Amino acid sequence: MTPTLGLAPVREQLANGVTLIVTQTPTQPAVTISAAMSAGSLCDPIGAEGTAHLLSRLLDRAAGTRAADEVADVLDFHGVSPSITVSRHTTTVSCDCLAGDVEPVLGLVGDMLRAPACLDADVEIRRGQVMTGLREDEDSPSTRALDAVMPLLYGAHHPYGRATKGSPATVEPIERSELLDFHAARFAPDRLTLVLVGDITVSAAVAAATEACGGWRGQAAPLVSPPLLPPAPPVHRRLIIPMPAKSQADIVYGFTTIVRSDPAFYAYWVMNNVLGQYGIGGRLGQSIRERQGMAYYAGSMFEAGHIAGPLLVRAGVNAENVDRALESIDIEVAGLARDGATGQEVMRAKRYLCGAMPRSLETNAAIARFLQTAQQFDLGLDHDSRLPGLVDAVTVEAVAEAARRTLIPEQAAVVIAGPYEGS
């Protein structure tokens, strides 16, 4: 019998289209606020990649009727440190506050998303910080390899192939007027999902959300249409990024997979756990790191989204071990595709994934992230209760089919960044 987590969230919709999801957890007098706008780097204008990311860095500056120092004063007074993140699909502001401070803090979060001022002085300061971060990324083999594999998989002009943070060449010319135009086109109440988790009732959450966001009017421009699918990967692609001054080479070895709504998602989740996550890194970690002792790290990651997402094998090795590591990855990938996973591997992976679910929802912030994902992909308010059963129902045959469909070494995109020149 699978466990039931039972978050029991309640969903409401404000008159202006804001979606509100509330879960009451009264064990601590605190509330997590998570405000996700359906506008991420996928919406960046062509040639202005990094627009969404740069805008996100300005949200906690002047906003609404508040100057930047007033915003900072409100945050400091309530002991709040907001986290602002941008993915390909969303811009999210999240923070924790005392239950008695929800109304003023939520009002400020609403202003950040509704009316960022993007003052010229702030734009230049934050642009400088973004540019510094981008140049630091250029000096990181792991970041270079991870960024470079996406255009190999999807194409340089596909939304998933474009850099989420942009590049120095695309961020430098972005003007204040372009940031404001982007905000006006993409940020609107009907694109906002507001999740409140903690010591707050549904009625109090509705009242606070209505006060903070109920007066917001507007409609966002349509998202990318028709849906963009990744191109079929017909051939093996390989890119070497020489970084001779580095001590380690980073390998990223990737495939495109499925959309999140595909019923095979849970089989892919289990398959990826067997390949590169279970224990110390699944089959990959056991082979490359433990048995052969030639990797600082080795494993895999799987991300399914609105567009078929990637499965990426990653490893960090000494440059002299790159060819051996790639050969070992080929062997493990091809072996799983050819033979599937054993019954014991599937059982262990499912047990691990189900056992980790309650632990992954121990904090209000973790619950809020889970509910945002469930809303984004229309998984249902009871997804937490159904999830263990969905994983438990995955069969050995379904895992084998997921591996067979995806893990084709001849169709992999491979990037090596570091002190390696090829062989």
CA distances from 223 to 49, 113, 177, 191, 294 (A): 16, 18, 21, 10, 45
**In sequence order, which residues have a C-beta less than 8 Å from that of residue 394 and are 6 or more positions away?**
266, 267, 269, 270, 346, 350
Task: Please give the domain boundaries of the chain with CATH numbers for all domains.
Answer: 10-213 (3.30.830.10), 237-418 (3.30.830.10)
- Strands 19-24 and 10-13, by their bridges, are antiparallel
Tokens for 417? 């960044």
Our CA angle for 337, 349, 290, nearest 5°, is 75
- How far apart CA 242 and CA 264 sit, in angstroms, is 38
What is the full per-residue pLDDT of the chain (423 aa) written as tens digits?
344 457 999 999 999 999 999 999 988 999 999 999 999 999 999 999 999 999 999 999 999 999 999 999 999 999 999 999 999 999 999 999 999 999 999 999 999 999 999 999 999 999 999 999 999 999 999 999 999 999 999 988 888 899 999 999 999 999 999 999 999 999 999 999 999 999 999 999 999 999 999 999 988 777 654 455 566 556 789 999 999 999 999 999 999 999 999 999 999 999 999 999 987 789 999 999 989 998 899 999 999 988 899 999 999 999 999 999 999 999 999 999 999 999 999 999 999 999 999 888 999 999 999 999 999 999 999 999 999 999 999 999 999 999 999 999 999 999 999 999 876
Confirm whether pTM is higher than 0.75. Answer: yes
